[in-house]
Structure 1
Amino acid sequence: MAQWMEGKIDVSAEKAGYDEKRIAVLADYYGNLIDAGKIRAAGFLMARNGGVFCHRAAGAHEYSDPSPAVKPDAIKRMASITKVFTAAAAMKLVEDGKLWLEQPVKTLIKEFDTPLHGNITLWHLLTHTSGLPADGGYFLEPYPIDHYEFINKKDWIKRLLAGPMQAKPGSQWNYSTLGYSILGEVVARAAGMSVGDYIEQEIFKPLGMTRSFFTPPAELIGEITTTEKWEKDDLSGAPGKRYYSLGGFGAFSTLSDLMRFAQCFLNGGTLDGNRILGRKTVETMTRNQLDGVPSFHWGKNCVNFRQGLGWAFYCDGPTVSPECFNHEGWGWCSLFVDPAEKFIFAAFTNTHEDWNPAVMVNPRTIAFSGIL
């Protein structure tokens, strides 16, 4: 049986307006996945009105046995949740007048100054409508191309732009981590430092996200929970190793730190007296930006797909408020922020399997069912 370890909480479930019995249901659900060997570990945090009322973790910290138990404050590779940090960084630079939303990428990256790519803007990158290659497997192709192998090569931008576009800019939503790689490069050139350094300086530190970073400090590597052997081997090069696409999937964080980031958005851009973004910027980032833009979305045809700036609206069904924004990351982890209920649900699991609704959808439905 999965043994749950309790993390720090601020208020009781009752004071938060949450049915405590649903916490037990959620823990049992994740515990059954762990006991069945479908995931190695799980952790989840829930907060309402700025107070954490549930914070737990269970399972194995390492990819193989024997392994110590995973802790609630374990650090995990956030994968694609990195994109919302990159989007926030880009919008900070927009606020400072160093970028503008309709700015053509070619004004900062000369490789984009072509008839095919010249009309791609910052807004297109933020909304996954640039027409650049979608993630491998997005179109359900049986043998997807691994575009990420060239990310660290000197000519990676030219390699990315080789071949035809997948769509005309602005005409179609195609989930593109490579597009966010470019967005990270745009941030770096506008800020005069790497996107990772800029996010750590302008977002992580001001928000008190003390266990979030891009290059893992040597003293914290042992606290990073891993899913597979390659992850453990990958960490052996730290510190100083550049992790893949810093704009698209390079961040490490914890459930508590994700909560602080999410709460900043619920607060209109501030936390503990520190303003990270303007209120109007937060409203823009968490508002649907698309109108009638089609999306294939991994086998599901969506005529009116909804997408904010960085933040997504992947929530299906009536279990969340329509304005609930979120993002997911491979491995798998998720962050849901419901402004109508002032509710945050952050979760991670350790698994190398493909996306599975039993791991990603059902727990979220259970979590939201407890709101009173």
Structure 2
Amino acid sequence: MKKQFKSVFIVILFVLWTAFSSILSGAVEPQSSYSEAIKEFEKFVEEQMALDKAPGLSVGFKKGDFIWTKGFGFSDLENEVPAKPENSYRLASITKTITAIAVLQLVEAGKIDLDAEVQTYVPYFPKKKWPVTVRLLLGHIGGISHYKNYDVEGHIKVHKNTKEALAIFQDFDLVAEPGTKYNYSSYGFNLLGAVIEEVSGQSYGAYIKKHIFDPLGMENSRMDDPEDLISNRVSGYRLIKSEVKNSEFVDVSSRFAAGGTRSTVVDLLRYTKGIIEGKLLKRQTWKLVFTSMATREGRFTGYGMGWGVRPWRGHFRVSHGGSQPETRTHLLIFPEENFSIAVASNLEGINLTPYVRRLAELVLEEDLDSLAYVSDTAEQVIYDNCAQVFSYGMSSLDWHGTHISKDETELAEAFSYFNKYVDKKSLKKDFKEIKKKIEEGLHPASKQALIKVGSFMAYTLKESLGEEKLQIYYQSGPLAFFSDYIKISKNWPSSRKNYKFPKSFAKLISGWEKDWTVTYTDYVRNLLITVNTDFDELGSKLKRTFSGVDLYPDFSRDMERAGYYHLWKDEIQNSLKIFNLNRELYPNSPLPFSNLAATYIWTGNVEEARKLFKKAFALNPDHPRVSLNEFRYLRRHLENAKKLKEIFALAKIFLELYPKNAELHKEIADIYLEAGQNEKAGIFYKKALELDPKLEEAKRKLEELGKEKKKLT
């Protein structure tokens, strides 16, 4: 008995020591470290899914060695089958990340030359007007078209092999000379899939299974096949006029290397683990993958080789989303933080960004979406640029480990660029031109001057204050970042004067920092605006907090989301209350004016809508809320509500804003065509072609209208 007790005691000691050692070594993070964040996120998901009318969602994150996954809602709504992390979703365009890795594995093996023409490997693909290389295809700057006629190409219901998939687009003209324009193209990645097959001698599916899925233990990742029995496959859904309906059946074999795979959230986290650990490719190749490509004119595209590459509040981030019938997916990686998120939903078209953002904020304990409003328009441009310099600078140091200037002369030129253009007086003299110069400062066209400034600032702060202090800037943001650098550089010798900011700029930063300290209170810091927020109470508190300062936190986008939720439900008074509060708080931002304009269009008050859209346009003609995408967004909601009269009114207003926009004329023609007004549709298609003779879809539809007219006569 004593021996048995002794043996048990030894086993217990061993288990305890093993667990304790694991915690000491950091190999396993205790679950309690994220328990509160997870609890808060679960509450958020339930509320957000109800707003989105999402049937099901699977989500997970990996931070260090800690992994959490969970399913919400239903994988099969009709049979009430609960969603779980092991559910199999179509990955859609996340497939492109897999294709890129496969191509680069073959590059490392010496079987593919990135700068070779694609016909070197796929000789049956027709030659084009200009050479199309593998490298350019990986970054969506190869000139290959995306879907031309989605009504046909997006609804294929039969299996396509590789040659049949390429035949869909092989005769399309290039949309631009390769290297000159970013044009997202699923067809370009299908072409890369053909390259993989021709070079490896294997099918695309067989290659990625052997060289990507199997090495990473992704046992439930595969090509999609509607005929196969796939365990835990979700049922797909869509919203039609705000009602949940079954997804249309589409066979995605024609999108094989661009969007033809499926996987689980569990497997996707295994995928991110392998990427973070530098598996599958050599380190220098990963650097290539995660470096944004640039057009020939010297503008970064924000897309590397198969991955979106953009900083997020100072963090180096790579990501990709996916969208197709039955699914919506999102994959996010912060490589240097050993942190990744995977989300998948069986509701096509759902916006997964709020889920990703909220989870990232809770895990990192940071406000990743902290924005600031400045009452002066020129100062707003300066602040926004400072936020970019901070984000790109911190991210650059994060990824490269040092600042990116080659020598002192180059660095001095970068600071000279900043001080010349990021200047209030200059903006007041020639706002449009100086704003353009500031925006160019983040791109190769200006030798990345502003990124060089930011990365040197981050490097200097790290060297002067230490790594721990540098990490705090992820929370404190751009103003503390600039303020501390200015303090450090204040007493530098004259030999370093070229790396300093002028006194006028330092004064501006100092004033802003004081404003931010006053307004970014605990209440504001922890504020989460939802559709259930008491906006009377919110307005009272924010007006009081923001009174008497020039710069303060910007919640206009959060209020926009809440206001639109009420608008689409025809709760007009709630919508107006929120949007009017938005306008009161942020009177120089185009966003609330555009929101109010949309509300008045919805209610049929066209004249008021016109005034408000024009006001928004006058404040900033480049703002997203007065863009063609905003027209499309509002049109879609008006169509769902069967508000045809209001759609035409909206179209007329946007024509006044953009009288020479060919795409807008084409889309208005589409509206007339759908309404059965063929004659008017023809007029707008003709006008679209006058404005842009290369608008192939307008040309095709005009030809179809001509054929239809001949039949009738």
Interval of TM-score (by shorter of Structure 1 and Structure 2): 0.7 to 0.9
Establish whether residue 59 from structure 1 lines up as the match of residue 73 from structure 2.
yes
Query: Is residue 151–residue 245 contact of structure 1 (8 Å, CA) maintained in 2?
Result: no
- Give the corresponding residue for 1:366: 358
SS in 1 for 2:48: helix
Change (3 A) 1:156 1:256: closer
SS in 2 for 1:74: coil
Which structure has more RCO (C-alpha within 8 Å, separation ≥ 6)?
A: 1
- Give the corresponding residue for 2:287: 283
Q: Which moved more, 1:361-370 or 1:89-98?
A: 361-370
Q: Which runs of 5+ in 2 are unaligned?
A: 1-27, 238-244, 366-713
CA distance in 1, matches of 2:335, 2:218: 21
CA apart distance, 1:352: 2.3
Change (3 A) 1:203 1:46: same
- Give the corresponding residue for 2:331: 335
Establish whether residue 101 from structure 1 lines up as the match of residue 114 from structure 2.
yes
- Tell me the number of residue pairs that the alignment of Structure 1 and Structure 2 aligns: 324
Identity of aligned residues (%): 24
Change (3 A) 1:146 1:172: farther
Letter in 2 for 1:147: E
Q: What aligned pairs does 1:319-334 form with structure 2 within 5 A after superposition?
A: 321=315, 323-330=316-323, 331-334=327-330
Change (3 A) 1:158 1:234: closer
Q: Determine which of 126, 131, 139 is the counterpart of 2:138.
A: 126
Please identify which structure carries the higher helix content: 2
- Give the corresponding residue for 2:160: 152
TM-score by length of 2: 0.42
Establish whether residue 308 from structure 1 lines up as the match of residue 304 from structure 2.
yes
Query: Is residue 111–residue 158 contact of structure 1 (8 Å, CA) maintained in 2?
Result: no
- Give the corresponding residue for 2:263: 253
1:171-227 deviation per Cα after TM superposition (whole angstroms, max 9, x unaligned): 111111111111101101101011111000111111111111115598852411121
Q: Which moved more, 1:362-371 or 1:103-112?
A: 103-112
Change (3 A) 1:293 1:267: farther
1:98-123 deviation per Cα after TM superposition (whole angstroms, max 9, x unaligned): 11111110112224453425x10111
- Give the corresponding residue for 2:47: 32
Query: Is residue 22–residue 366 contact of structure 1 (8 Å, CA) maintained in 2?
Result: no
TM-score by length of 1: 0.78
SS in 2 for 1:185: helix
Establish whether residue 90 from structure 1 lines up as the match of residue 103 from structure 2.
yes
SS in 2 for 1:344: strand
Change (3 A) 1:365 1:21: same
Establish whether residue 185 from structure 1 lines up as the match of residue 194 from structure 2.
yes
**Structure with greater Cα Rg:** 2
CA distance in 1, matches of 2:125, 2:228: 40
CA apart distance, 1:348: 1.0
1:125-166 deviation per Cα after TM superposition (whole angstroms, max 9, x unaligned): 110111111246xxxxxx845435498275543441324221
CA distance in 2, matches of 1:278, 1:97: 13
Query: Is residue 292–residue 305 contact of structure 1 (8 Å, CA) maintained in 2?
Result: no
Change (3 A) 1:72 1:232: farther
Q: Determine which of 20, 30, 38 is the counterpart of 1:12.
A: 30
Query: Is residue 55–residue 346 contact of structure 2 (8 Å, CA) maintained in 1?
Result: yes
CA distance in 2, matches of 1:70, 1:280: 39
Query: Is residue 135–residue 175 contact of structure 1 (8 Å, CA) maintained in 2?
Result: no
Change (3 A) 1:57 1:115: closer
Letter in 2 for 1:246: F
Aligned-residue RMSD, C-alpha: 2.8
CA distance in 2, matches of 1:12, 1:291: 46
Change (3 A) 1:122 1:230: farther
Change (3 A) 1:31 1:186: same
- Give the corresponding residue for 1:205: 214
Q: Which moved more, 1:225-234 or 1:324-333?
A: 225-234
CA apart distance, 1:23: 2.2
